[in-house]
Amino acid sequence: MRIREIRIYDILVPFGETAYTMGERTSVSSITGTILAIATDEDLVGWGEVTPWGNTYLPEFTGGVRAGLDVICPGLIGSDPLNIAAIYQSMDALLYGHPYVKSGIDMACWDLLGKASGLPVHALLGGQMVSAVPLNCAVYHGPFEEMAERISAYRDHGIRIFSTKPGGDADGDIRLYSRIAAQRADGETYIADANRSWCVPTAIRVARHLEQYGFFNLEQPCDSYEDCLAVRKATRITTALDESLVSFDDLARAYRDGAAEIAHIKLSRVGGLSKARLIRDFCEVCGLSVSWATSGGTEICDAAATHLASTTRKKNLFGLWSCREFNTEVFADGGPLLRDGCALISDLPGLGVSPHLDKLGRPITVYG
C-alpha cells in the first residue's frame, strides 16, 4: 500500500454562545482546525485532525499546522502508510520538532492500519482495558453561581470529575474553591486547573487551602516546569502536570523529581498516538495516573483519544476530556458515545469515524 495523495481541509468549530475562559490567558468561542485525508493506491482513506485551542493556549496554532504540512506532505507521497515507524522517521527527517503538526498524519496512518487489518485502533494499541472511559468535564471560569450551575448539569449526565478553572487572584480563588467544595456530592473529584495562570506564591496559597478537603487535585499551577515543581515541593496536594509535558524526557524528569502523580496528555502536544502510547506504558510501569485529551477538535480527534484511553489499565486511568464538550456542530459519524459520565468507543475498523464530506467542503490543498 502506498500514499497516493493527502488532502487538507479547513474547518471552523463553533461553541455557540459559550466563551470558554481560562484565567487571563485565553477566552475562545470557536476554534479553527485542520482535517486531513490520506488516500492510498488501494482506495483506502485514513483520517486525521489537528485543531489547536486558539493561538495562546499551547505553542501550536493552525497557521503552524498548515505551514508544517506543506513541508512534510510532499515527502510522504509514495510511502507505505502502514509502516508508521518509518512514516514518523520520514516526518522527523523532513521537519525537526513541531510534534503537533505530525500528530494528524500519525492519526490518519493508525486509521489506515486499522482499516487495512479490519481492527479498531484500540486493538492495535494493545487492546481495551476498560470499556467505559470516565469523563472529566471542564468548568470554565466565571461567577460561582454559573460554575455551580454547570457542575450540576454535568452531574445530571453522570460526570464525577470536574476540572474547574480559577481566576488568578489568590484571595478570590480561595473564596471560589471554598464555595465549590461546599456543593460537592459524594464520590466527586475536583481539579483546580490553573492552566499556568498562577505565580508561585499564589499557587502555594491556594494549594495549601485545598489540602484540607482531600478531594481536590492541583493541575499545572504555573507556566514553567520549575515553578510547578516548587509548588509541588511546598504542598501535600496531589498534582497533575499538563502543558509542561511535551516530550518523553519531560515525563521522565517529572517522575524523577516527584513533580506530579498525574500526567495529563494531549495527543497533538506530544505528537500523536505513536508517541502517546509510549507515555501510557511509562505511566503504567511507574505507577502514575494518566488523563487523556486532544487540544480541541471534532469526532476524529475525540475518537483517537478515546481509543488510547480505553487501552490504559484501569488503576492508571484518571479520565478523558472530550474535546467535543462545547462543540455545536457534528463533523463525523462514529465518534465516541458519551453516556452516563463515560465515553464508549466502537469496534469498527480504524478510528471508526466517517466524516461528513459536505461539512468539510473542498480541500484547501492537495498533495500528490
Q: Is residue 49's pLDDT more than 80?
A: yes
pLDDT tens per residue, range 236-278: 999 999 999 999 999 999 999 999 999 999 999 999 999 999 9
Indicate the pLDDT class of residue 57, thresholds 50, 70 and 90.
Answer: confident
Say if residues 295 and 321 touch (Cβ distance below 8 Å): no
* pLDDT (tens digit per residue) in 150-199: 999 999 999 999 999 999 999 999 999 999 999 999 999 999 999 999 99
Range 30-41 average pLDDT: 97
Tell me the mean pLDDT in the region 128-154. Answer: 96
Average of pLDDT values for 138-144? 93
**pLDDT per residue as tens digits for the range 309-352:** 999 999 999 999 999 999 999 999 999 999 999 999 999 999 99
Average pLDDT for 25-53? 93
d(CA 155, CA 149): 10
Confidence check: pLDDT of 62 > 70:
yes
Judged against a pLDDT cut of 90, whether residue 9 lies above it is answered with yes
Q: How high is the pLDDT of residue 55?
A: 86
Residues with catalytic roles: 165, 266
Q: What pLDDT, on the 0 to 100 scale, is given for residue 22?
A: 67
The predicted pLDDT at position 26 comes to 65
Q: How many CB atoms lie within 10 A of CB 250?
A: 17
25, pLDDT greater than 60: no
- All three cell numbers of 45, joined, read 482513506
pLDDT at 68 over 90: yes
Handedness of CA 241, 245, 251, 253 (dihedral sign): negative
| 161-to-177, 216, 230 alpha-carbon distances in Å | 15, 10, 26
Q: Over the chain, what is the mean pLDDT?
A: 96
Please report the domains of the chain, with CATH numbers, ordered by start residue.
Answer: 3-118+356-367 (3.30.390.10), 123-354 (3.20.20.120)
Mean pLDDT of 21-34: 78
Q: What gap in Å lies between CA 259 and CA 256, rounded to an integer? A: 8
Length, in residues, of the chain: 368
What is the C-alpha to C-alpha distance for residues 150 and 158, in angstroms, rounded to an integer?
13
pLDDT value for 27: 74
Alpha helices in 73-182 (DSSP H): 84-94, 99-117, 121-124, 144-156, 170-182
Span 56-62, average pLDDT:
89
What local confidence, expressed as pLDDT, does residue 250 receive? 96
